[in-house]
Structure 1
Amino acid sequence: MNVNFFVTCIGDAIKSRMARDTVLLLEQLGCRVSFPEKQGCCGQPAINSGYINEAIPGMKNLITALEDNDYPIVSPAGSCTYAIKSYPGYLANEPEWAARAEKVAARMYDLTSFIVNTLGVVDVGARLQGKAVYHPSCSLFRKMGVKEEPLALLHHVQGLELLPFSHPETCCGFGGTFSVKMAEISGEMVKEKSVHLMEGQPDYLIGADVSCLLNIGGRLQREGRPVKVMHIAEVLMSR
């Protein structure tokens, strides 16, 4: 199957290993991966801050970049996936652009739902020894309804024990620009989240949204917790 890879800003600038492992994983599962070279930011920071009109030129640029073909578009970030899926509503006053946005949005998939629901795979042959907790990000779980797919993939990782913890669906406090504008509240939220995550003394913290992992991982590091933070693509490429 031919697919496009949407790398995201964080994947491009900060977490290149996550981006690399996403591509390698898709290739391992039989996909031929294309990279639309004119892709850019999805505009999520501006959108989350309420600057919708200012974000529209970037939305249009990304729509154009992703129209090179009609392949599925796979992203390793639920938040960016959801932002692009929301474009038709933001462009509703421009029917031609809204229609183009709708076509692009219909082709957008987060990595885990694409693997499980489109490729029909739950066991990718991964191996990772130890105990882990999985953080379901708000964008994936609340906004897109992607809950079971990441867990199905992780349950099939040989040697990995997934631990339960209190209030797993509570927000970590990142929320994009919320963590900047409401830093004190965000700090208390991630502090509480970290307490719950550490209940079983896990070896790994796993998530499918790297922005949440950066936030929680930063808190755990400040607390001196010996936990390895991994994006699910990195876990699924472990051998």
Structure 2
Amino acid sequence: MNVNFYVTCLADVVKAGVAKNTVLLLEKLGCKVIFLEKQGCCGQPALNSGYTKQALPGMKNLVETFEVNDYPIVAPAGSCVYAIKNYPEYFTRFNEPQWAERAQKIADRFYDLTDFIVNVLGVTNVGATLTGKAVYHPSCSLSRKLGIVKEPVSLLQQVKGLTLLPIANQQTCCGFGGTFSVKMAEISGEMVKEKVAHISEADPDYLIGADVSCLMNIAGRLEREGKKVKVMHIAEVLMQEEK
């Protein structure tokens, strides 16, 4: 199956390992991965801050980029996928119905990585091995906005040697929320502090998530508190093999 890969800004600039492992994982599962170099930011930071009109040119660029073929588009971040799936609404709001129609066709082809693997490829066991105890953090964009709850867990449950641990208030936001963590820094700080406290009570070897932004936020707090918990994106986990 031919698949477009949407790298996202954070994976491209900060966490290249997530991008690399996403591509390798898709290839391992039989996909031919296509990277369209014209792709850019989805505009999420501007959209979340209310600068929708200013984000329109970048949104149009992304739509044009993925119109060159009709293959599925896979991204390792639910927050970006959710932003793009709302493009039609934004274009409609600014009286650009033709762009709204074009954007809808693109939005319908966008998938979070775990959603694509489980619901399109029909795979839950990718043959990964990682020994230890782990806590999975369900990011708000993935679980609340996109409704992708079971897919990441079903993939992790099939990782050989990995034990998933429950924690108190597991569904609670980590406090990142994009620009929320900047505008409401004190509240955000208390939220991630509480999240790390619950993680620490479980004493895991790993913290696993499917959104780089949330993982960066929690990892920062873990490091400041001197916690020896390895933070991993699910794409990195699913590419682990028995040594």
- Report the TM-score, using the length of structure 1 for normalisation: 0.99
Residues 88-167 of structure 1: pairs in structure 2 closer than 5 A: 88-92=88-92, 93-167=95-169
List per-residue Cα deviations over 1:203-239 (Å, max 9, x = no partner).
Answer: 0000000100000000000000000000000000000
Distance in 1 separating the partners of 2:200 and 2:154 = 22
Distance in 2 separating the partners of 1:61 and 1:85 = 15
Distance in 1 separating the partners of 2:23 and 2:200 = 31
CA contact (8 A) 1:205 1:230 kept: yes
> Which of the numbers 182, 185, 197 marks the counterpart of 1:183?
185
For 1:29, the equivalent position in structure 2 comes to: 29
CA contact (8 A) 1:71 1:107 kept: yes
Q: Which amino acid aligns with 2:100?
A: A
After superposing on structure 2, the runs of 4+ consecutive aligned residues of structure 1 that deviate more than 6 Å are none
Q: Which amino acid aligns with 1:138?
A: C
List per-residue Cα deviations over 1:37-94 (Å, max 9, x = no partner).
Answer: 1000000000010100000111001100111100000000000000000100000121
Distance in 2 separating the partners of 1:15 and 1:124 = 22
Distance in 2 separating the partners of 1:67 and 1:127 = 37
For 2:220, the equivalent position in structure 1 comes to: 218
Q: Which amino acid aligns with 1:54?
A: Q
Matched residue count: 239
Residues 61-100 of structure 1: pairs in structure 2 closer than 5 A: 61-92=61-92, 93-100=95-102
What's the secondary structure of 2:175's corresponding residue? coil
- Report the TM-score, using the length of structure 2 for normalisation: 0.98
Q: Which amino acid aligns with 1:224?
A: G
CA RMSD of aligned residues (A): 0.4
What's the secondary structure of 2:200's corresponding residue? helix
Distance in 2 separating the partners of 1:36 and 1:68 = 9
Gaps of 5+ in 2: none
For 1:209, the equivalent position in structure 2 comes to: 211
Gaps of 5+ in 1: none
List per-residue Cα deviations over 1:148-180 (Å, max 9, x = no partner).
Answer: 000000000000000010111100000000000
What's the secondary structure of 1:91's corresponding residue? helix
For 1:9, the equivalent position in structure 2 comes to: 9
Q: Report the identity percentage.
A: 70
Distance in 2 separating the partners of 1:49 and 1:101 = 21
